[in-house]
Amino acid sequence: MDGFQADRYRTWTDEQDLWLLFAAAAWQTRRIRLGPSVSPVTLREPTLIAQALATLYELSGGRAEGVLSSGNFGLLAQYRIDWARTRPLSRVKEALHVVRTLLDEGSITHDGEFFSYDGLFTFARPVQSRVPLKLGAMRGPKSFEAAGELSDGCHHALSYTREAYDYAVRHIRAGAERAGRDWRSLDIGAWGVFATGPDSAAAKDAARSMVGIYASSMPEEQLRRNGVDPGELKPVIDAIAAGDLARGIELTTPEIAERLSIAGEQLLVGL
**What percent of the chain stands above pLDDT 90?**
61
The predicted pLDDT at position 15 comes to 58
Spans of all domains in the chain = 6-193, 194-271
The predicted pLDDT at position 2 comes to 36
6-193 homologous superfamily? Luciferase-like domain (3.20.20.30)
CA–CA separation, 262 and 196 (whole Å): 8
- At 10, is the pLDDT very low, low, confident or very high (cuts 50, 70, 90)? very low
pLDDT tens per residue across span 112-130: 999 999 999 988 888 667 8
Q: Which long-range contacts (CB under 8 A, 24 or more apart) does 256-260 make?
A: 256/211, 256/215, 256/228, 256/232, 257/204, 257/207, 257/208, 257/211, 258/204, 259/160, 259/226, 259/227, 259/228, 260/158, 260/160, 260/192, 260/193, 260/211, 260/214, 260/215, 260/226, 260/228
pLDDT tens per residue across span 191-229: 889 999 889 999 999 999 889 888 777 888 989 999 999
The predicted pLDDT at position 5 comes to 34
Residue 256 has pLDDT above 60, yes or no: yes
The predicted pLDDT at position 111 comes to 97
CA–CA separation, 18 and 22 (whole Å): 6
pLDDT tens per residue across span 52-69: 999 999 999 999 999 999
Establish how many alpha carbons lie within 13 A of residue 244's alpha carbon, considering only the half-sphere containing its beta carbon: 11
The three-state secondary structure class of 112 is coil
Contact call for residues 159 and 188 (beta carbons, < 8 A): no
pLDDT tens per residue across span 150-177: 999 999 888 899 999 999 999 999 999 9
The predicted pLDDT at position 243 comes to 81
The predicted pLDDT at position 269 comes to 52
CA dihedral over 172, 176, 178, 179, signed as positive or negative: positive
Q: Is the whole-model pTM more than 0.75?
A: yes
The predicted pLDDT at position 7 comes to 35
Report which of residues 25 and 139 the model is more confident about. 25
